[in-house]
Amino acid sequence: MRLPGTRPCTPPLAADDSTPLQVIGAFLLWVLRLVMDPGGTVRGFRAWVLSTPASPRPRAVAVTAAKVIAPRKPKAIASGPRDGTKTSRFLALVTEKYGPLDRFSLDRVSPVSSELAPEAGLDTAAARGALGKAVKAAQNGGPKLCPAS
């Protein structure tokens, strides 16, 4: 607080001047940022340097057109197992031993899968899923998922 009729001891700072403490604080914060995120700090510093009016303008880069490759025709998706697969062999075994799948009971899917999957070389869980799907499709009158018996 100044007393009336006295002058300040130091000349007033201009609006854009910074005090030495502000400069030291900004420098320490920048060093902290450099320690915490070196890549981002260096990129930001580079962007700041390039944004100054004295920096050289970026050179134009020649862009070559990429070769256009036509998309391939999508493969047809077949419904049901393919001939000769473990799943088709398993379903053929089931129809041989237990008859057509449209008359097969859903509660027998698990025990039959556990019994016949090793004979076809198929995992029990995969056999259970395939047999359940085939039985449901056969009972709903869907496409025939198992080979002819």
**Rounded Cα distance, 127 and 124, in Å:** 5
The amino acid present at 145, given as its one-letter code, is: L
**Rounded Cα distance, 127 and 120, in Å:** 9
Q: How many CB atoms lie within 10 A of CB 48?
A: 10
Last residue of a domain, one of 8, 33, 51: 51
Contact of 131 with 138, CB cutoff 8 Å: no
Whether residue 4 lies inside any domain: the answer is no
**Rounded Cα distance, 12 and 15, in Å:** 9
Task: Give the SS3 label for residue 98.
Answer: helix
Q: How many CB atoms lie within 10 A of CB 33?
A: 14
Per-residue pLDDT tens for 89-127?
889 899 988 888 888 888 889 999 999 889 888 899 999
Whether residue 7 lies inside any domain: the answer is no
The per-residue pLDDT for 78 is: 61
Burial grade of 149 (CB within 10 A; 0-12, 13-18, 19 or more): exposed
Reading the chain (149 residues) residue by residue, the pLDDT tens digits are 567 777 766 666 566 678 899 999 999 998 999 899 989 988 988 888 888 888 777 778 888 888 888 888 877 666 666 667 888 888 989 998 888 888 888 888 999 999 988 988 889 999 999 999 999 888 887 655 445 44
- Return the structure tokens found at 40: 């981002």
Domain containing residue 41 = 20-51
Whether residue 103 lies inside any domain: the answer is yes
Whether residue 58 lies inside any domain: the answer is no
Whether residue 77 lies inside any domain: the answer is no
Domain count along the chain: 2
Last residue of a domain, one of 32, 51, 70: 51
Contact of 130 with 136, CB cutoff 8 Å: no
- Return the structure tokens found at 126: 């995969």
Whether residue 12 lies inside any domain: the answer is no
The per-residue pLDDT for 7 is: 73
